[in-house]
Chains A and B, each alone.
Chain A
Amino acid sequence: MSTRLAFVTVCLGLLVAGAVPVQAHHSFSATYDGNKPITLRGTVSKLGWSNPHAHIYIDVKGPNGKTVTWEIESAGASNLLRAGIRKEDFVGTEVIVKGFLAKDGTPAANASSFTLVETKKEYVSEEKTTP
């Protein structure tokens, strides 16, 4: 009886774990293509204000005139806050993102830097500013 209960508990645990989205701190090279640098210009439509990575969604107008929403992974929310970026100031602003394209071909990139067009202020990953 206790064995069956333990088995059911483990199965339930695995199901729950699988259902919860996990913000993993993953390797750059596993997800992004270091041979495909890309520069995007668009308007921030949504923010995933999280750690260890923040996710910035920007609407970018493509060459065919269609707008595509890109998911940009950046340094975590804590790092962005330390850099002086507040969530409230961000949505609706125009940004230029420099980064690397996702390997899976989706409109996703990893940002090495992004610049707020209006203020021309450029933000980079904290790793680079730390001596």
Chain B
Amino acid sequence: MKRVAIILGLGLTLSVHDGALAQARPDFSGTWRFNQGKSSPGIAGNTPNIPFPSQLVIKQSPTELYVASTSVRQAPLTATYKLDGSKVTVDAPRGISETGEARFDGETVVITTRRSFSSPAGETVVDFKETWSLTGTILTIEKTRIEGGESTTEQAVYDKV
């Protein structure tokens, strides 16, 4: 009887702990608009070093992160990432294949994606790593683009709409 009580107690403690962890995670849900003035200069203008969407629509649940990225006159990308880090397929425009994984790392979300498409240079593969952090109504995304042995990192800031 005493053993059963201990096991039940431990189970209860663990479930409460899990719930507390889930609650402690920041919620990225919302509509976010790119703020060029607060972002790094390398992504300004017509030809950014790294493409950042002009708007993000995010819906977060304890297990999933839905992300819809849109840019002016560019085809949108949407994905529903599993927050356990398992690989998902990104709904990308025709001609582009993309997979990605997302997971929480403390109070940040880390999303890694691999995009591939054909070009006159052959099959092109580009890896991206994004680290999202939240400060009030400001979403900051640090993004690294890795391709052909070259890597570039830039930072974008989004304001909550």
Chain A interface (Cβ within 8 Å of chain B)? 27-30, 33-41, 60, 62-64, 68, 70, 96, 98-101, 105-107, 110-113, 124-125, 127-129, 131
Contact B120 A107 (CB under 8 A): yes
**Is B150 an interface residue, CB under 8 A from the partner?**
yes
For residue A131, which residues in chain B have a CB less than 8 angstroms away from its CB? 41
Expressed in whole angstroms, the Cα–Cα distance for A64 and B121 within the complex equals 9
What 9 A-B pairs are tightest by C-beta distance, nearest first? A127-B45, A29-B73, A28-B46, A107-B120, A112-B47, A63-B122, A39-B148, A34-B74, A39-B147
A68-B120, A111-B47 known; A38 vs B147 contact (CB < 8 Å): yes
Interface residues of B (CB under 8 A from A): 41-42, 44-51, 71-75, 77, 92-93, 96, 115, 117, 119-124, 126, 145, 147-148, 150, 152
CB atoms of B72 and A98 under 8 A apart: no
Quick one: closest B residue to A107, CB to CB? B120
Question: Residue of A at shortest CB range from B117?
Answer: A36
Q: Once the chains bind, are A28 and B120 in contact (CB under 8 Å)?
A: no
> Which of A63, A98, A129 interacts with B152 by CB under 8 Å?
A98
11 contacting pairs across A/B (C-beta < 8 A): A35-B51, A38-B121, A38-B126, A39-B150, A62-B122, A63-B121, A96-B150, A106-B120, A124-B42, A127-B44, A129-B41
Which chain A positions have C-beta within 8 A of B93?
35
Chain A residues, CB < 8 A from B152:
98
Chain A's nearest CB lies how many Å from the CB of B147? 5
| A128, B44: Cβ atoms closer than 8 Å | yes
Complex Cα–Cα for A127 and B75 (A): 24
